Chain A
Amino acid sequence: MPIEFRKEYFADERDDNLNEIGKPTQRQDMLGHVTGRSPFYDDHLFDGLCHIRCVRSPHHHARVRRIDVSEAERVPGVRRVILARDVPHNLNTLLSLMDFGLDDEPMLTPEGAEVRYRGEPVAAIVADTERIAREAVAKVRVDYEVLPHVLDVEEAVKPGAVAVNPAYPANKFVYHGKYDHQKLRYGDVEAGFRQADRVIEGRYQMSPIEQAPIETCGAIAAPETNDRYVCYTSTQALFFSLGTAAKLLDISSARLHLIGGTVGGGFGGKVDSIHEPLAILGTVLTGRPCKAMFDREEEMQVGAPRGAERWYITDGVMNDGTLVARKFVGYFDAGAYTRLSSYAIIKGVGHLPGPYTIPNVYADVYCVFTNRTPATAMRGFGVTGVDFAIESHMDVVADELGLDPIEMRIKNAYRDGDMKAHRRLAKNTALVECCQVAAEKAGWPLSAEARAASSLTGGGGARGEMPAFTALDEHGRVSGYESGSYAQGDRPRGEAAGSGAQGRSGSGTPSGQPSPRPRAEPPRAPQPTRVEPTRAEPARAEPQWSDPYAGRPSAPAGTAPASPRPERSPAPDAGPDGTAPRRGPRFASISGLRRR
């Protein structure tokens, strides 16, 4: 279907005399694509290429008692069996590269430690052919002590639930060193619910979605001149892969030459940097070029999907369809490890309450660890799931009120100059016009009033003001975490004790087991006088503060802190690559991430 430009809208906001924008242009890589010459990572041939295949846990959750590789090592053509003890720095979290989150995931699970999802690797075989590698994988004997597992987000956050990830013993990611969830507070939703004609709740669930690129994830590494290693990779995030490989392998990134650029379909699923460290380590240990790649089954089963989400939405609404309060309780299923789920929630909460101007908004969103495949990025992750919930709920609310769902959207849509719940003024808004065009295309009748509405009018004024009062609370407050303690470099190097620690660098190195943190529990506080109108939360204290920030930005979800944060105390040791840890306000880098 040809694209239709509706240039009658916002004509004065746009120049139409631009050379490139608004004009069709050819892809720079199209000629390579149609001639089969675009260089994908697997198109780099090496004589004597070795193949790496992983031994994977068949259990959702188990303790690895013993790994017996003796039979596998005797298979002719097997060059090396890689175990956790071969990984110099066997603990990482992807976003540690921007100081966000605790290291929580080993590259390979050592003996004595736990596997936390089905398919988690415990060993890797380097062999002359893929077939030999597969045969040797089948000959590795792993003695597992099967442990109870948890696969549901709300089960996982109940007291007494199976602890999935020792970095976060309560199965909840800790935000900003303070809370076991990401908060958004704007106005007072309880007051909004009291004022509303109707309070309407909904529950929405989205399943994990596999990105399913046609090219499976992988990397090929080989020795290069000057004591370097070259690595051709399918990565979508070359510098994540570079930094992650350097960290896990305790090797200067200057010695790693990563080459990417042509990705055979990514959709977010090629950022996790799983294969680059493994392929390079295989090359380091054997001196041979090594390829690590998912086969199709691994891509679907082990490759990190878009995570599952569960949302509870409660709307306070007037009989004419005006939304006066909206409350979210969300649970992202991160699977066993953080990867990018923590960031997805920052982004998602920044997006609430959807493209609508609502004076009272509240959100508690949890990044929950379960024994499922770790989740990661996929096309608008963090936003698509909650948009599905929001727009479904808009339809439900309109239906309950007997209103036209498109007109209800137009009524509540952001107008230019409105204050958004994350405390930025709305500009260049266009939902009203989108609704009008969609209705026109669908032959959906709209009232004259809805047809006459515009994003340019009706906004601002009182709608552009901050709420006079914002109800704050301390629920979900955790202790034992410091906002400045996220980076690996903050921790004494030898702190993570455990089996298998045999770092080549000589210093005590993490062994694939995050060090347990104090159990995060919300502080108990007197029951507030107010009663929560929804059932989303177990009876949990929500003390009302005398609010010093009421009426002005208070470091809400997804925005840079508005108030100065305490500098963290000096780190006791150097970072993994020997550099001094960076100082400064924490989390600022997340805004950098958001710019991607």
Chain B
Amino acid sequence: MAKTPIAFTHNGDERAVFVDDGQNLLDMLRRTAGDLTPKYGCGQGTCGACTVLVDGAPQLACITLAETVDGRRIDTVAGLAAGQGGGRLSPLQKAFMDNFAAQCGYCTDGMLMSATALLARNPRPSRDEVVEAISGNLCRCTGYEAIINAVLQAASGGGSAQAGRR
């Protein structure tokens, strides 16, 4: 099986790996790069659990050919807290905790990355814009409301949203 060398920036760190023929980005990140935060949910680009940012734009790792990220920047949940220095949670992660926006936790990594992409380009989104931004991420536990509230709370500067803890 042919191995192709690629280099990319992974949550700010320079990485160089060999990718297999036909290997998808999800498999490369999890098995080769050891970043287990993107999850397998469907392998079909439907559920969004494998969402990562490629040069800041959300992409589905399971339907992205690994070698297409050569020379690009990959961001995942593994970098969210570290990005705040000293492992502090990002405001978005904090808001997810405050709003009970995760139950089983399996869709959470993908949700966080879709929301991260939204807030990076639109720091004050409307509720409809939040809904649109996470429309490619399925959640079977929460019914989405808690997640939408969390993203809105993070956008409003992390203050307690109306749906925060009572």
Contact = CB atoms under 8 A, between A and B. Distances in A.
Contacts of A296: 41-44, 46-47
Contacts of A263: 104
A58 interface: no
B61 to A, nearest CB: 13
Nearest to B100: A27
Given A36-B77, A215-B41, A31 B97 contact: yes
Interface string B24-64: 00000011001011011111101101000000000000000
A43 B140 contact: no
Interface string B97-109: 1001011111111
Contacts of B39: 40, 42, 214-215, 264
3 closest Cβ pairs, A-B complex: A33-B105, A264-B106, A36-B37
B107 A34 contact: no
Interface in B95-152: 96-97, 100, 102-109, 112, 138-141, 145
B43 to A, nearest CB: 6
Contacts of A264: 39, 104-106
25 contacts: A2-B163, A27-B103, A30-B96, A33-B108, A34-B102, A35-B80, A36-B77, A42-B39, A42-B40, A45-B30, A45-B34, A212-B140, A214-B41, A214-B107, A214-B138, A215-B104, A215-B106, A216-B41, A262-B105, A264-B39, A265-B141, A295-B42, A296-B41, A296-B42, A296-B44
Interface string A335-353: 0000000000000000000
A214 B47 contact: yes
B145 A36 contact: no
A266 B166 CA distance: 28
A260 interface: no
A42 B40 CA distance: 9
Interface in A152-180: none
B6 interface: no
Contact of A29 (B93, B105, B138): B105
A35 B43 contact: no
Contacts of B96: 30, 33-34
Contacts of B47: 214, 296
Contact of A40 (B46, B106, B138, B141): B106
Nearest to A25: B165
B16 interface: no
A213 interface: yes
A267 interface: yes
B77 A30 contact: no
Interface centre among B41, B49, B81, B100 (most CB of A within 10 A): B41
Interface string A42-71: 110100000000000000000000000000
A21 interface: no
Contacts, number: 97
Interface of B: 22, 30-31, 34, 36-37, 39-44, 46-47, 49, 76-78, 80-81, 89, 93, 96-97, 100, 102-109, 112, 138-141, 145, 162-163, 165-166
Interface of A: 1-3, 24, 26-27, 29-36, 38, 40, 42-43, 45, 131, 211-216, 262-267, 295-296
Contacts of A45: 30-31, 34, 36
Contacts of B80: 35-36
Contacts of A24: 165-166
A32 B108 CA distance: 10
Nearest to B42: A296
A43 B138 CA distance: 20
B93 A35 contact: yes
Contacts of B44: 296
Contacts of A40: 39, 106
Contacts of B109: 36
Given A30-B100, A214-B49, A264-B39, 11 more contacts: A3-B166, A32-B105, A35-B93, A40-B39, A45-B31, A211-B140, A214-B104, A215-B106, A264-B106, A265-B104, A295-B42
Nearest to B108: A33
Contacts of B97: 26, 30-31, 34
Contacts of B139: 214
A214 to B, nearest CB: 4
B41 A267 contact: no
A45 B47 CA distance: 23
A21 to B, nearest CB: 14
A38 B31 contact: no
A433 B163 CA distance: 26
A43 B36 contact: yes
